[in-house]
A and B are shown apart, each in its own frame.
Chain A
Amino acid sequence: MITVSHISKSFGNAKVLDDISVQFETGRVHQIIGQSGSGKTVLMKCLVGLLEVDEGEVLYDGRNFSNMTIDQRKEIRKEMGMLFQGGALFDSMNVAENVAFPLLMHSNMTVAEMKKRVDFCLERVNLAHTNKLMPSELSGGMTKRVAIARAIALNPHYLFCDEPNSGLDPQTANMIDNLIAELTHEYNMITIVNTHDMNSVLEIGEEVNFICNNKLWWKGDKNSILNSNNAELNQFVFATGLMRRLKPCQ
């Protein structure tokens, strides 16, 4: 379980996160939703330690990540996988080398074992036989899937996804969402997904956290989100014509 306890984060005078507390349970897909600039990405960066919180703490299965030294954090980071918005694949490496990279840095696998694991991860994201391709030769959806393969290479306990389906067509976005949900249940991971895509929320949102005005404004699941009376949430959820047409059906 990841426990976020009363964290706050400011940049200069601008408070981006204000006293946020939330728990993320094992084996579930947790989504963080909110408008652009609401602080979703800052929250995720605070969770993985790319940004330091000003106040509060983040606990990974009881281990206080916020108070740890860089070396102590390294052990927890070996249990993390992260999918970045643009994929963040290493340009100088081909697909297989990208997926093998965490194994190379953190495991004592032989080359044959690494190759086997890379092939398995790539097959799992339906990208077998793409080992030799360079990141520049991949489509947006393929890039995201390679990034997922890299994120799961070390069998992580915690998977973080920052807007995994942004810039993708609805079909590919749906495929990425379902892949993330499948992997979460298959490996019993804690998955946290930042998104503002309502299709994604309604598809895989087992736990949905809505951030508004720098605070955790609403918490529920994909079924309750359409029936909420929360004005700010409704304003966000039913912002598009498609979603407004969906509302009277409930």
Chain B
Amino acid sequence: MKIIKQIGIIFTVCWLSILVEKALPFSFPASVIGMILLFLCLLTGVLKIEHIQEKADFLLENMAFFFVPAGVSIINYFDVLKDTWLQLVIICVISTVITFAVTAWSVKLAVRLMGRRRDNE
């Protein structure tokens, strides 16, 4: 029963997030609305972490599995990949290195700023 209840809570949050998505004047992915809703529920104490812990762990630990069908549909896109796979690989490699460097560098800067502010206090 515990797990059923947790599944019920998470499905309800997902359904509510679709309602919110429809109500918003701009387009915003429902799954991310669900994430924000759930976060707010936890923050405000509407939901306690114990209410959803097991179900959340199950979904997070098996996240990759849920992408198997989406990934398999790549067999419908072989003709696109045939001509572009090398460019796609190069783009992924270069942009991953850039993203890593920019993030690390800006965090370093922010930590230094925080330290300086603390010294002034």
- Is chain B found bound to chain A in the same assembly? no
Residues of A whose CB lies within 8 Å of any CB of B are: none
